[in-house]
Amino acid sequence: MNIVNPGRVRRVTDGVGGHGPVVYWMSRDQRARDNWALLHARERAQARSVPVVVAFCLSQTFLGATLRQYDFMLRGLRETAGRLRALNIPFALLHGAAPEVLPSFLHDLRASELVTDFDPLRVKRGWLREVAAAAGMPVHEVDAHNVVPARLVSERQEYAARTIRPKIHRLLSEFLEPFPELSQVSNVTVPYIAEPDFEEALRWIRVDATVAPVALPAGEDAAEARLLAFIAEGLSSYAEGHSDPNVDGTSGLSPYLHFGQLAPQRAALAAAQARHGGEGREAFLEQLVVRRELTDNFCLYNDDYDALSGAPAWALATLDAHRADPRPHVYTREQFEAARTHSPLWNAAQHELVTSGTMHNYMRMYWAKKILEWSATPEDALATALHLNDRYQLDGRDPNGYVGVIWSIAGVHDRPWKERPVFGSIRYMNSNGCRRKFDVEAYIRARSAAPRQLTLV
């Protein structure tokens, strides 16, 4: 009987590998616990009576990520490497993009199979195609990120949450299952892999160091602690606190989910098994499972997920019809980045983003919609919002981020609303709406500071 549901596994290529280990190319799911891809690699290795080796390919740059994101990621990987070492599973930190360094690593080990995790982003899909073509061995992709595998949920781009929700719910009982323990490797000779040098890795990368790391603890243990605290203290009130940025009502799990330090399925199991929760539990599971997996679906089946051309036809038409509308204010990217707009509320949200690496979801919607209203063109607005989101958010460069921005600016997964200047029939938000939701002045007082000089790249 398979440990991993075959519906999670996609055979990318066939081939005849060597007689060496099964290699798990860790990428999106950076954890030893609760990792279906690693469990599948371990299962394949046991069938062949060979060891399993984990390899992570560290790119010098990646989609505009800064020192903030690399620092958080490498702190988590350090913990994961130690956890794997305790299980007698070597961890290799390879310096370079996967197509540049992974094929030779596989060849040197005489690897028998390659297993990797699922990622819907264009660059990751491109890397997988290149590596698979060069590997000459069986290559498997395992969806260790979605509760219900994205490729199994739907074979096309879904229009909205209401169209993907029944497809996910129909399969949820099959895939929302407990994780088995990852057993220690024994009775095989494990190849020597040099211990990763994480300090040297930080020196080797070529990223913008002016966006400083944040003090948020990283890694699997920190992710688990945050999850347990949220289930105990925040799950029941999640439905109310989710729309008030002055209340610590969000789960705080987004950075850990983004870097794969926590399995979304572990969070879903914890919420589903909690003895309390009520409406809060239902709201959390809707965001964690349905809404998050909807963003993976969008990026998997729409290659223009980060461009205006990826928006629905009605949104493109309405934005185009209002392209020449006078804007009340027009700011440059540099002015947005430095929080130098006329709006204390918007500036406070931008300051929170720059200093903390996070922003409340409700404020991120308002923040992006005001960028649309105060930019010369919709194209400029989308480019600015994505640049700032990816540069400062710990969870930037992610399907949730791309879809959140293009939903706000170009109506993805939404419907036409009342027509207004600049927005057309894109859903509108303003500060008065925020005032009806929460204490705007308290938010501004808590997050505002004199705009600091930023080094722009």
pLDDT digits (tens, 9 = 90+) for 283-332: 999 999 999 999 999 999 999 999 999 999 999 999 999 999 999 999 99
Confidence of residue 248 (pLDDT cuts 50, 70, 90): confident
Residue 70 scores a pLDDT above 50: yes
pLDDT of residue 241: 66
3-state SS, the chain, equals CCCCCHHHEEEEECCCCCCCCEEEEECCCCCCCCCHHHHHHHHHHHHHCCCEEEEEEECCCCCCCCHHHHHHHHHHHHHHHHHHHHCCCCEEEEECCHHHHHHHHHHHHCCCEEEEECCCCHHHHHHHHHHHHHHCCCEEEECCCCCCCHHHHCCCCCCCHHHHHHHHHHHHHHHCCCCCCCCCCCCCCCCCCCCCCHHHHHHHCCCCCCCCCCCCCCCHHHHHHHHHHHHHHCCCCHHHHCCCCCCCCCCCCHHHHHCCCCCHHHHHHHHHHCCCCHHHHHHHHHHHHHHHHHHHHHHHHCCCCCCHHHCCHHHHHHHHHCCCCCCCCCCCHHHHHCCCCCCHHHHHHHHHHHHHCCCCHHHHHHHHHHHHHCCCCHHHHHHHHHHHHHHHCCCCCCHHHHHHHHHHHHCCCCCCCCCECCCECCCCCCHHHHHHHCCHHHHHHHHCCCCCCCCCC
**How confident is the model over 417-440, as pLDDT tens digits?**
999 999 999 999 999 988 998 899
Structural domains in the chain, sorted by start: 1-144 (3.40.50.620), 146-181+220-302 (1.25.40.80), 308-447 (1.10.579.10)
pLDDT band at residue 449 under the 50/70/90 scheme:
low
Nearest in space to 28 (alpha carbons), one of 96, 115, 104, 90: 115
Strand-pair category, 91-95 with 22-26: unpaired
Candidate from 33-47, 90-104, 272-286 with smallest mean pLDDT: 272-286
pLDDT-based confidence at residue 453 (cuts at 50, 70, 90): very low
What pLDDT score was predicted for residue 455? Answer: 31
Is the confidence at residue 83, as pLDDT, over 70?
yes
Residue 456 has pLDDT above 80, yes or no: no
Confidence of residue 185 (pLDDT cuts 50, 70, 90): confident
